[in-house]
Structure 1
Protein backbone atom coordinates (compact mmCIF):
# COMPACT_ATOMS: atom_id res chain seq x y z
CA UNK A 1 0.00 0.00 0.00
CA UNK A 2 1.55 3.29 -1.07
CA UNK A 3 -0.50 5.90 0.75
CA UNK A 4 0.34 5.18 4.38
CA UNK A 5 0.12 8.24 6.58
CA UNK A 6 3.29 9.07 8.48
CA UNK A 7 3.40 11.30 11.52
CA UNK A 8 6.34 13.65 11.81
CA UNK A 9 7.82 14.91 15.07
CA UNK A 10 5.69 18.02 15.28
CA UNK A 11 3.67 18.63 18.47
CA UNK A 12 -0.08 18.76 18.25
CA UNK A 13 -2.39 20.47 20.69
CA UNK A 14 -2.33 18.47 23.92
CA UNK A 15 -5.55 17.60 25.69
CA UNK A 16 -6.75 19.99 28.34
CA UNK A 17 -4.01 22.49 27.57
CA UNK A 18 -1.38 20.35 29.34
CA UNK A 19 2.12 20.24 27.99
CA UNK A 20 4.50 17.35 28.33
CA UNK A 21 7.07 15.35 26.46
CA UNK A 22 5.96 14.71 22.91
CA UNK A 23 7.23 11.50 21.39
CA UNK A 24 7.94 11.30 17.67
CA UNK A 25 6.24 8.39 16.02
CA UNK A 26 4.34 7.22 12.98
CA UNK A 27 0.96 5.79 12.19
CA UNK A 28 0.87 3.27 9.38
CA UNK A 29 -2.66 4.21 8.48
CA UNK A 30 -4.16 3.74 5.03
CA UNK A 31 -5.72 7.16 4.71
CA UNK A 32 -4.75 10.19 2.73
CA UNK A 33 -5.37 13.90 2.77
CA UNK A 34 -4.83 14.46 6.49
CA UNK A 35 -2.46 16.88 8.20
CA UNK A 36 0.49 15.19 9.91
CA UNK A 37 0.72 15.68 13.65
CA UNK A 38 2.26 13.86 16.57
CA UNK A 39 -0.42 12.31 18.74
CA UNK A 40 -0.22 12.14 22.51
CA UNK A 41 -3.64 10.55 23.09
CA UNK A 42 -5.87 8.07 21.31
CA UNK A 43 -9.50 7.17 21.97
CA UNK A 44 -10.55 3.53 22.36
CA UNK A 45 -14.16 2.38 22.01
CA UNK A 46 -16.03 -0.87 22.52
CA UNK A 47 -18.85 -2.45 20.51
CA UNK A 48 -21.16 -0.10 18.60
CA UNK A 49 -23.37 -2.73 16.91
CA UNK A 50 -24.12 -0.45 13.96
CA UNK A 51 -25.82 2.17 16.15
CA UNK A 52 -25.52 5.47 14.34
CA UNK A 53 -27.13 7.19 17.31
CA UNK A 54 -24.47 5.89 19.68
CA UNK A 55 -21.62 6.67 17.29
CA UNK A 56 -22.75 10.30 17.29
CA UNK A 57 -23.10 10.35 21.08
CA UNK A 58 -19.72 8.73 21.69
CA UNK A 59 -17.87 11.05 19.33
CA UNK A 60 -19.67 14.08 20.73
CA UNK A 61 -18.48 13.03 24.18
CA UNK A 62 -14.98 12.69 22.80
CA UNK A 63 -15.09 16.14 21.23
CA UNK A 64 -16.29 17.73 24.47
CA UNK A 65 -13.93 15.96 26.86
CA UNK A 66 -10.86 15.29 24.72
CA UNK A 67 -10.86 17.70 21.77
CA UNK A 68 -7.23 17.00 20.81
CA UNK A 69 -7.79 13.35 19.90
CA UNK A 70 -7.52 12.50 16.20
CA UNK A 71 -7.42 8.67 16.22
CA UNK A 72 -9.98 6.21 17.59
CA UNK A 73 -9.19 2.52 18.00
CA UNK A 74 -12.38 0.49 17.86
CA UNK A 75 -12.53 -2.96 19.49
CA UNK A 76 -14.91 -4.60 17.08
CA UNK A 77 -18.57 -5.34 16.50
CA UNK A 78 -18.49 -2.17 14.50
CA UNK A 79 -20.87 -4.36 12.48
CA UNK A 80 -19.45 -4.25 9.00
CA UNK A 81 -22.39 -4.79 6.58
CA UNK A 82 -24.85 -5.56 9.37
CA UNK A 83 -28.50 -6.37 8.73
CA UNK A 84 -29.49 -2.83 9.72
CA UNK A 85 -29.17 -0.22 6.95
CA UNK A 86 -25.37 -0.25 6.58
CA UNK A 87 -25.04 2.81 4.36
CA UNK A 88 -26.97 4.99 6.83
CA UNK A 89 -24.81 3.82 9.74
CA UNK A 90 -21.61 4.41 7.81
CA UNK A 91 -22.81 7.89 6.87
CA UNK A 92 -23.65 8.66 10.51
CA UNK A 93 -20.16 7.61 11.62
CA UNK A 94 -18.41 9.68 8.95
CA UNK A 95 -20.54 12.74 9.73
CA UNK A 96 -19.85 12.33 13.46
CA UNK A 97 -16.13 12.05 12.74
CA UNK A 98 -16.20 15.31 10.79
CA UNK A 99 -18.16 17.09 13.52
CA UNK A 100 -15.80 15.89 16.27
CA UNK A 101 -12.54 16.48 14.43
CA UNK A 102 -11.70 12.78 14.45
CA UNK A 103 -9.54 11.90 11.46
CA UNK A 104 -9.35 8.10 11.51
CA UNK A 105 -10.81 4.93 13.02
CA UNK A 106 -8.88 1.66 13.20
CA UNK A 107 -11.16 -1.33 13.84
CA UNK A 108 -9.96 -4.55 15.46
CA UNK A 109 -12.78 -6.70 14.03
CA UNK A 110 -15.30 -8.48 16.25
CA UNK A 111 -17.34 -11.60 15.70
CA UNK A 112 -20.23 -9.55 14.31
CA UNK A 113 -18.15 -7.93 11.59
CA UNK A 114 -18.58 -9.64 8.23
CA UNK A 115 -15.84 -12.27 8.08
CA UNK A 116 -17.26 -13.37 4.77
CA UNK A 117 -15.71 -10.16 3.45
CA UNK A 118 -12.80 -9.75 5.83
CA UNK A 119 -11.48 -13.33 5.80
CA UNK A 120 -10.67 -13.54 2.07
CA UNK A 121 -9.25 -10.01 2.03
CA UNK A 122 -6.95 -10.65 4.95
CA UNK A 123 -5.90 -14.03 3.59
CA UNK A 124 -4.87 -12.40 0.33
CA UNK A 125 -3.32 -9.34 2.01
CA UNK A 126 -2.36 -10.31 5.58
CA UNK A 127 -0.41 -7.10 6.22
CA UNK A 128 -2.85 -4.67 4.67
CA UNK A 129 -5.79 -3.02 6.50
CA UNK A 130 -9.11 -3.04 4.69
CA UNK A 131 -10.24 0.50 4.04
CA UNK A 132 -13.97 1.02 3.93
CA UNK A 133 -15.01 2.09 0.45
CA UNK A 134 -16.27 5.66 0.21
CA UNK A 135 -14.64 6.70 3.49
CA UNK A 136 -10.85 6.14 3.37
CA UNK A 137 -10.80 7.14 7.06
CA UNK A 138 -12.04 3.84 8.57
CA UNK A 139 -9.91 0.70 8.30
CA UNK A 140 -10.31 -2.87 9.56
CA UNK A 141 -7.07 -4.45 10.78
CA UNK A 142 -5.85 -7.97 9.95
CA UNK A 143 -5.07 -10.30 12.83
CA UNK A 144 -1.53 -9.75 14.06
CA UNK A 145 -1.30 -6.27 12.50
CA UNK A 146 1.06 -3.86 14.25
CA UNK A 147 1.25 -0.10 14.09
CA UNK A 148 2.76 2.79 16.02
CA UNK A 149 1.12 5.93 17.38
CA UNK A 150 3.02 8.55 19.33
CA UNK A 151 5.95 6.21 19.86
CA UNK A 152 3.78 3.40 21.28
CA UNK A 153 3.49 0.04 19.58
CA UNK A 154 0.06 -1.57 19.13
CA UNK A 155 -0.89 -5.14 18.26
CA UNK A 156 -4.35 -5.93 16.90
CA UNK A 157 -5.69 -9.47 17.26
CA UNK A 158 -9.31 -9.39 16.17
CA UNK A 159 -12.15 -11.85 16.10
CA UNK A 160 -14.02 -13.86 18.73
CA UNK A 161 -16.44 -16.74 18.93
CA UNK A 162 -20.19 -16.13 18.98
CA UNK A 163 -21.51 -18.10 21.95
CA UNK A 164 -25.01 -17.91 20.45
CA UNK A 165 -23.94 -19.27 17.06
CA UNK A 166 -26.56 -22.01 17.34
CA UNK A 167 -29.23 -19.32 16.95
CA UNK A 168 -27.49 -17.67 14.00
CA UNK A 169 -27.22 -18.39 10.28
CA UNK A 170 -23.77 -19.38 9.08
CA UNK A 171 -22.50 -17.05 6.38
CA UNK A 172 -25.04 -14.37 7.28
CA UNK A 173 -24.48 -13.39 10.91
CA UNK A 174 -22.02 -16.06 12.02
CA UNK A 175 -18.81 -17.26 10.35
CA UNK A 176 -16.43 -20.10 11.22
CA UNK A 177 -13.54 -17.75 10.44
CA UNK A 178 -14.66 -15.23 13.06
CA UNK A 179 -12.55 -17.09 15.65
CA UNK A 180 -8.84 -16.35 15.88
CA UNK A 181 -6.81 -19.44 15.01
CA UNK A 182 -3.44 -20.80 16.05
CA UNK A 183 -1.91 -19.38 12.88
CA UNK A 184 -3.16 -15.92 13.87
CA UNK A 185 -1.58 -16.31 17.29
CA UNK A 186 1.71 -17.36 15.70
CA UNK A 187 1.66 -14.28 13.47
CA UNK A 188 0.97 -12.04 16.46
CA UNK A 189 3.74 -13.62 18.52
CA UNK A 190 6.28 -13.42 15.71
CA UNK A 191 6.37 -9.63 15.94
CA UNK A 192 7.58 -9.65 19.54
CA UNK A 193 6.46 -7.39 22.36
CA UNK A 194 4.04 -4.46 22.07
CA UNK A 195 2.99 -1.73 24.45
CA UNK A 196 -0.74 -2.17 23.85
CA UNK A 197 -2.76 -5.16 22.68
CA UNK A 198 -6.19 -4.63 21.11
CA UNK A 199 -8.63 -7.54 20.97
CA UNK A 200 -12.33 -8.16 20.64
CA UNK A 201 -12.23 -11.44 22.51
CA UNK A 202 -11.76 -11.31 26.28
CA UNK A 203 -8.90 -13.04 28.05
CA UNK A 204 -9.11 -15.34 31.03
CA UNK A 205 -7.96 -13.74 34.25
CA UNK A 206 -8.06 -10.24 32.83
CA UNK A 207 -10.54 -8.74 35.28
CA UNK A 208 -12.69 -10.16 38.06
CA UNK A 209 -15.98 -8.88 36.64
CA UNK A 210 -15.37 -10.38 33.21
CA UNK A 211 -14.30 -13.68 34.75
CA UNK A 212 -17.58 -13.69 36.70
CA UNK A 213 -19.56 -13.14 33.50
CA UNK A 214 -17.68 -15.96 31.76
CA UNK A 215 -18.31 -18.31 34.68
CA UNK A 216 -22.08 -17.73 34.56
CA UNK A 217 -23.16 -18.03 30.89
CA UNK A 218 -26.78 -17.57 29.92
CA UNK A 219 -27.70 -21.09 28.83
CA UNK A 220 -30.99 -19.86 27.39
CA UNK A 221 -29.00 -17.93 24.77
CA UNK A 222 -25.78 -19.90 24.46
CA UNK A 223 -25.42 -23.55 23.50
CA UNK A 224 -22.51 -25.86 24.28
CA UNK A 225 -21.09 -25.60 20.78
CA UNK A 226 -20.90 -21.82 21.12
CA UNK A 227 -19.48 -21.98 24.63
CA UNK A 228 -16.82 -24.47 23.49
CA UNK A 229 -15.89 -22.12 20.66
CA UNK A 230 -15.67 -19.24 23.15
CA UNK A 231 -13.33 -21.20 25.38
CA UNK A 232 -11.16 -22.09 22.41
CA UNK A 233 -11.06 -18.51 21.12
CA UNK A 234 -10.38 -17.06 24.55
CA UNK A 235 -7.53 -19.51 25.18
CA UNK A 236 -5.75 -18.41 22.00
CA UNK A 237 -5.98 -14.71 22.84
CA UNK A 238 -5.02 -15.33 26.48
CA UNK A 239 -1.91 -17.23 25.38
CA UNK A 240 -0.73 -14.32 23.22
CA UNK A 241 -1.34 -11.89 26.10
CA UNK A 242 0.60 -14.14 28.47
CA UNK A 243 3.58 -14.61 26.19
CA UNK A 244 3.94 -11.03 24.98
CA UNK A 245 3.16 -9.30 28.32
CA UNK A 246 1.96 -5.98 26.89
CA UNK A 247 1.54 -3.17 29.39
CA UNK A 248 -2.12 -2.68 28.41
CA UNK A 249 -4.82 -4.84 26.86
CA UNK A 250 -8.20 -3.51 25.76
CA UNK A 251 -11.10 -5.73 24.68
CA UNK A 252 -14.81 -5.56 23.94
CA UNK A 253 -17.25 -8.47 23.38
CA UNK A 254 -18.35 -8.90 27.02
CA UNK A 255 -20.44 -5.70 27.07
CA UNK A 256 -19.27 -4.69 30.55
CA UNK A 257 -16.96 -2.00 31.86
CA UNK A 258 -14.21 -3.58 33.93
CA UNK A 259 -10.57 -3.18 34.92
CA UNK A 260 -7.96 -5.67 36.01
CA UNK A 261 -4.58 -4.58 37.34
CA UNK A 262 -1.72 -7.06 37.39
CA UNK A 263 1.90 -7.38 38.41
CA UNK A 264 4.61 -5.34 36.72
CA UNK A 265 2.09 -2.52 36.11
CA UNK A 266 0.09 -4.41 33.48
CA UNK A 267 -3.63 -3.64 33.12
CA UNK A 268 -6.62 -5.08 31.25
CA UNK A 269 -9.68 -2.99 30.37
CA UNK A 270 -13.02 -4.35 29.20
CA UNK A 271 -15.14 -1.80 27.38
CA UNK A 272 -18.93 -1.80 27.55
CA UNK A 273 -21.22 -1.86 24.52
CA UNK A 274 -23.14 1.00 22.91
CA UNK A 275 -25.64 2.94 25.02
CA UNK A 276 -23.73 2.06 28.21
CA UNK A 277 -21.26 3.95 30.39
CA UNK A 278 -17.74 2.69 29.86
CA UNK A 279 -17.94 2.32 26.07
CA UNK A 280 -15.22 4.87 25.30
CA UNK A 281 -12.14 6.32 26.92
CA UNK A 282 -8.81 7.97 26.20
CA UNK A 283 -5.33 6.50 26.48
CA UNK A 284 -2.44 8.88 27.22
CA UNK A 285 0.41 7.64 25.06
CA UNK A 286 3.02 9.37 27.17
CA UNK A 287 2.52 7.20 30.24
CA UNK A 288 -0.28 4.79 29.19
CA UNK A 289 -2.76 6.13 31.74
CA UNK A 290 -6.42 5.50 30.93
CA UNK A 291 -9.42 7.79 31.45
CA UNK A 292 -13.03 6.67 30.97
CA UNK A 293 -15.39 9.09 29.21
CA UNK A 294 -18.94 8.98 30.63
Structure 2
Protein backbone atom coordinates (compact mmCIF):
# COMPACT_ATOMS: atom_id res chain seq x y z
CA UNK A 1 0.00 0.00 0.00
CA UNK A 2 1.15 3.55 -0.72
CA UNK A 3 0.39 6.49 1.56
CA UNK A 4 1.16 10.18 1.08
CA UNK A 5 1.43 13.02 3.61
CA UNK A 6 2.70 16.58 3.99
CA UNK A 7 5.73 18.21 5.60
CA UNK A 8 7.34 16.35 8.51
CA UNK A 9 10.16 18.80 9.39
CA UNK A 10 12.13 16.11 11.18
CA UNK A 11 9.49 15.52 13.86
CA UNK A 12 9.60 11.76 14.36
CA UNK A 13 6.96 11.48 17.10
CA UNK A 14 4.57 13.75 15.22
CA UNK A 15 4.99 11.65 12.09
CA UNK A 16 4.19 8.48 14.01
CA UNK A 17 1.13 10.19 15.50
CA UNK A 18 -0.17 10.88 12.00
CA UNK A 19 0.15 7.18 11.29
CA UNK A 20 -1.56 6.07 14.50
CA UNK A 21 -4.73 4.79 12.80
CA UNK A 22 -2.99 3.38 9.73
CA UNK A 23 -1.78 -0.18 9.43
CA UNK A 24 1.47 0.57 7.64
CA UNK A 25 4.25 -1.98 7.66
CA UNK A 26 6.60 -4.10 5.61
CA UNK A 27 6.05 -3.70 1.88
CA UNK A 28 4.25 -0.36 2.27
CA UNK A 29 5.55 3.06 1.18
CA UNK A 30 5.06 6.45 2.84
CA UNK A 31 5.60 9.43 0.52
CA UNK A 32 6.37 12.82 2.08
CA UNK A 33 5.72 15.96 0.01
CA UNK A 34 8.76 17.99 0.95
CA UNK A 35 10.34 19.50 4.08
CA UNK A 36 11.32 16.00 5.14
CA UNK A 37 13.72 17.59 7.61
CA UNK A 38 15.45 14.52 9.01
CA UNK A 39 18.79 15.13 7.24
CA UNK A 40 20.67 17.61 9.45
CA UNK A 41 24.16 17.64 10.93
CA UNK A 42 23.37 17.30 14.62
CA UNK A 43 23.14 14.41 17.06
CA UNK A 44 19.37 14.53 17.60
CA UNK A 45 18.69 14.50 13.84
CA UNK A 46 20.98 11.52 13.35
CA UNK A 47 19.15 9.67 16.11
CA UNK A 48 15.75 10.42 14.56
CA UNK A 49 17.03 9.32 11.16
CA UNK A 50 18.21 6.07 12.73
CA UNK A 51 14.73 5.55 14.18
CA UNK A 52 13.25 5.95 10.69
CA UNK A 53 15.61 3.28 9.38
CA UNK A 54 14.27 0.92 12.02
CA UNK A 55 10.75 1.20 10.58
CA UNK A 56 9.59 -1.69 8.40
CA UNK A 57 8.00 0.48 5.71
CA UNK A 58 9.74 2.45 2.95
CA UNK A 59 9.93 6.25 3.11
CA UNK A 60 10.24 8.31 -0.08
CA UNK A 61 10.24 12.10 -0.20
CA UNK A 62 10.58 15.04 -2.54
CA UNK A 63 12.68 17.87 -1.15
CA UNK A 64 11.14 21.06 0.16
CA UNK A 65 12.77 24.39 0.90
CA UNK A 66 13.76 23.47 4.45
CA UNK A 67 16.32 20.76 3.77
CA UNK A 68 20.08 20.55 4.29
CA UNK A 69 21.04 20.28 0.64
CA UNK A 70 24.77 20.04 1.42
CA UNK A 71 24.19 16.82 3.34
CA UNK A 72 21.46 15.53 1.05
CA UNK A 73 23.79 15.77 -1.92
CA UNK A 74 26.37 13.56 -0.21
CA UNK A 75 24.18 10.47 -0.27
CA UNK A 76 24.70 8.00 -3.13
CA UNK A 77 22.52 8.41 -6.21
CA UNK A 78 20.91 5.12 -7.20
CA UNK A 79 18.34 3.84 -9.66
CA UNK A 80 15.22 3.31 -7.57
CA UNK A 81 11.91 2.17 -9.04
CA UNK A 82 12.81 3.54 -12.45
CA UNK A 83 14.14 6.94 -11.39
CA UNK A 84 17.18 8.57 -9.78
CA UNK A 85 17.12 8.90 -6.00
CA UNK A 86 19.47 9.65 -3.13
CA UNK A 87 19.52 6.66 -0.80
CA UNK A 88 19.44 8.30 2.61
CA UNK A 89 19.06 5.06 4.53
CA UNK A 90 18.19 1.40 4.20
CA UNK A 91 14.54 2.26 3.57
CA UNK A 92 14.70 6.02 2.90
CA UNK A 93 14.89 7.59 -0.56
CA UNK A 94 14.99 11.18 -1.81
CA UNK A 95 13.12 11.34 -5.12
CA UNK A 96 15.22 13.66 -7.24
CA UNK A 97 13.71 16.49 -9.29
CA UNK A 98 12.34 15.69 -12.69
CA UNK A 99 12.39 11.92 -12.21
CA UNK A 100 9.57 9.43 -12.72
CA UNK A 101 9.15 6.43 -10.43
CA UNK A 102 6.95 3.35 -10.58
CA UNK A 103 5.75 2.07 -7.21
CA UNK A 104 3.30 -0.82 -6.99
CA UNK A 105 2.48 -0.37 -10.66
CA UNK A 106 1.69 3.35 -10.35
CA UNK A 107 3.80 6.10 -11.90
CA UNK A 108 4.91 9.21 -9.99
CA UNK A 109 6.52 12.36 -11.43
CA UNK A 110 8.57 14.09 -8.72
CA UNK A 111 9.70 17.72 -8.65
CA UNK A 112 10.62 19.19 -5.27
CA UNK A 113 11.73 22.63 -4.19
CA UNK A 114 10.28 26.00 -3.18
CA UNK A 115 11.37 29.48 -2.09
CA UNK A 116 11.78 30.23 1.63
CA UNK A 117 9.81 33.37 2.48
CA UNK A 118 11.86 33.61 5.70
CA UNK A 119 15.16 33.58 3.81
CA UNK A 120 16.32 36.95 5.28
CA UNK A 121 16.21 35.35 8.75
CA UNK A 122 18.31 32.36 7.71
CA UNK A 123 22.04 31.73 7.22
CA UNK A 124 23.44 30.18 4.04
CA UNK A 125 24.80 26.64 4.44
CA UNK A 126 23.41 26.54 7.98
CA UNK A 127 19.66 27.07 7.71
CA UNK A 128 19.24 28.07 4.06
CA UNK A 129 20.50 26.72 0.71
CA UNK A 130 20.18 28.21 -2.75
CA UNK A 131 19.43 24.70 -4.03
CA UNK A 132 15.93 25.06 -2.55
CA UNK A 133 14.95 26.53 -5.93
CA UNK A 134 15.20 24.24 -8.97
CA UNK A 135 18.13 24.75 -11.33
CA UNK A 136 18.19 24.77 -15.12
CA UNK A 137 19.49 21.20 -14.94
CA UNK A 138 16.43 20.20 -12.91
CA UNK A 139 14.06 21.68 -15.48
CA UNK A 140 16.03 20.11 -18.34
CA UNK A 141 15.89 16.73 -16.64
CA UNK A 142 12.14 17.10 -16.17
CA UNK A 143 11.69 17.95 -19.86
CA UNK A 144 13.54 14.80 -20.90
CA UNK A 145 11.48 12.69 -18.51
CA UNK A 146 8.17 14.19 -19.63
CA UNK A 147 9.09 13.57 -23.25
CA UNK A 148 9.98 9.97 -22.44
CA UNK A 149 6.70 9.29 -20.63
CA UNK A 150 4.61 11.17 -23.18
CA UNK A 151 3.46 13.74 -20.59
CA UNK A 152 1.31 11.07 -18.98
CA UNK A 153 1.68 9.92 -15.38
CA UNK A 154 -0.57 8.63 -12.63
CA UNK A 155 0.49 11.04 -9.89
CA UNK A 156 2.48 14.26 -9.46
CA UNK A 157 4.54 14.81 -6.29
CA UNK A 158 5.77 18.32 -5.45
CA UNK A 159 6.33 20.59 -2.46
CA UNK A 160 4.91 23.80 -3.90
CA UNK A 161 1.80 24.04 -6.12
CA UNK A 162 0.68 25.79 -9.33
CA UNK A 163 0.13 29.55 -9.17
CA UNK A 164 -3.62 29.35 -9.78
CA UNK A 165 -3.96 26.78 -6.99
CA UNK A 166 -2.10 29.09 -4.59
CA UNK A 167 -4.62 31.83 -5.36
CA UNK A 168 -7.55 29.46 -4.85
CA UNK A 169 -5.99 28.46 -1.55
CA UNK A 170 -6.39 32.08 -0.49
CA UNK A 171 -2.68 32.86 -0.65
CA UNK A 172 -0.67 35.38 -2.65
CA UNK A 173 1.91 33.78 -4.99
CA UNK A 174 5.45 34.86 -4.11
CA UNK A 175 7.26 36.59 -6.95
CA UNK A 176 10.49 34.81 -5.95
CA UNK A 177 8.81 31.49 -6.73
CA UNK A 178 7.23 32.63 -10.00
CA UNK A 179 9.41 30.44 -12.21
CA UNK A 180 8.52 27.28 -10.29
CA UNK A 181 4.83 27.98 -9.72
CA UNK A 182 4.54 29.09 -13.34
CA UNK A 183 6.14 25.83 -14.43
CA UNK A 184 3.66 23.93 -12.29
CA UNK A 185 0.86 25.94 -13.91
CA UNK A 186 2.09 24.68 -17.27
CA UNK A 187 2.24 21.12 -15.94
CA UNK A 188 -1.31 21.45 -14.62
CA UNK A 189 -2.49 22.24 -18.16
CA UNK A 190 -0.24 19.96 -20.20
CA UNK A 191 0.22 16.83 -18.10
CA UNK A 192 -2.22 13.93 -18.21
CA UNK A 193 -2.45 12.83 -14.56
CA UNK A 194 -4.92 11.49 -12.00
CA UNK A 195 -3.94 13.46 -8.90
CA UNK A 196 -1.34 15.95 -7.70
CA UNK A 197 -0.01 15.83 -4.12
CA UNK A 198 1.92 18.68 -2.47
CA UNK A 199 2.77 20.21 0.91
CA UNK A 200 4.45 23.51 1.86
CA UNK A 201 1.41 25.48 3.05
CA UNK A 202 0.70 23.59 6.29
CA UNK A 203 -2.97 23.15 5.42
CA UNK A 204 -5.10 20.21 4.33
CA UNK A 205 -7.27 21.05 1.34
CA UNK A 206 -8.29 19.59 -2.01
CA UNK A 207 -8.57 21.97 -4.96
CA UNK A 208 -9.76 20.15 -8.06
CA UNK A 209 -7.07 17.54 -8.83
CA UNK A 210 -4.53 19.00 -6.39
CA UNK A 211 -4.38 17.74 -2.79
CA UNK A 212 -2.46 20.08 -0.49
CA UNK A 213 -1.34 18.05 2.51
CA UNK A 214 -0.10 18.66 6.01
CA UNK A 215 -1.44 16.37 8.74
CA UNK A 216 -3.49 14.19 6.44
CA UNK A 217 -2.20 10.78 5.41
CA UNK A 218 -3.99 9.65 2.27
CA UNK A 219 -3.94 6.17 0.75
CA UNK A 220 -3.16 5.95 -2.95
CA UNK A 221 -5.48 3.28 -4.26
Shorter-chain-normalised TM-score: which range?
Answer: 0.7 to 0.9
1:138-149 matched pairs, under 5 angstroms: 138-149=92-103
1:43-192 matched pairs, under 5 angstroms: 43-63=3-23, 70-82=28-40, 85-95=44-54, 97-98=55-56, 102=57, 104-119=58-73, 128-132=84-88, 135-192=89-146
Please state how far the C-alpha of 1:208 moved relative to its aligned partner.
6.1
1:18-37 matched pairs, under 5 angstroms: none
Please state how far the C-alpha of 1:167 moved relative to its aligned partner.
0.9
Q: Check whether the contact 1:159–1:200 (CA below 8 A) recurs between aligned residues.
A: yes
Structure with larger RCO (C-alpha < 8 A, sep 6+)? 2
Structure 1: which 5+ runs fail to align?
A: 1-40, 216-226, 262-266, 273-277, 285-294
Please state how far the C-alpha of 1:120 moved relative to its aligned partner.
6.7
CA deviation map 1:8-47 (0-9, x unaligned): xxxxxxxxxxxxxxxxxxxxxxxxxxxxxxxxx3100110
Q: Check whether the contact 1:75–1:108 (CA below 8 A) recurs between aligned residues.
A: yes
1-structure distance, mates of 2:143, 2:85? 19
Q: Check whether the contact 1:42–1:69 (CA below 8 A) recurs between aligned residues.
A: no
Matched residue SS, 2:141: helix
CA deviation map 1:221-280 (0-9, x unaligned): xxxxxx43223332233323332232211000111111111xxxxx110001xxxxx431
**What residue number does 1:244 align with?**
191
Please state how far the C-alpha of 1:207 moved relative to its aligned partner.
6.5
User: Taking structure 2 as the reference length, what is the TM-score of the superposition?
Assistant: 0.83
If each structure's strand is expressed as a fraction of its own residues, which one has the higher value? 2
**Closer, same or farther in 2 for the Cα pair 1:246/1:144, shift >3 Å?**
same
Q: Quick check: 142-151 or 154-163, which moved more? A: 142-151
**Closer, same or farther in 2 for the Cα pair 1:92/1:55, shift >3 Å?**
farther
1-structure distance, mates of 2:163, 2:206? 13
2-structure distance, mates of 1:108, 1:199? 6
Matched residue SS, 2:84: coil
Q: Check whether the contact 1:144–1:188 (CA below 8 A) recurs between aligned residues.
A: yes
When the two structures are aligned, how many residues end up with a matched partner?
212
Q: Check whether the contact 1:163–1:230 (CA below 8 A) recurs between aligned residues.
A: no
Please state how far the C-alpha of 1:59 moved relative to its aligned partner.
2.8
Please state how far the C-alpha of 1:115 moved relative to its aligned partner.
1.5
Please state how far the C-alpha of 1:206 moved relative to its aligned partner.
2.8
**What residue number does 1:194 align with?**
153
Q: Check whether the contact 1:180–1:236 (CA below 8 A) recurs between aligned residues.
A: no
- Is 2:213 the partner of 1:271? yes
RMSD of aligned alpha carbons: 2.6
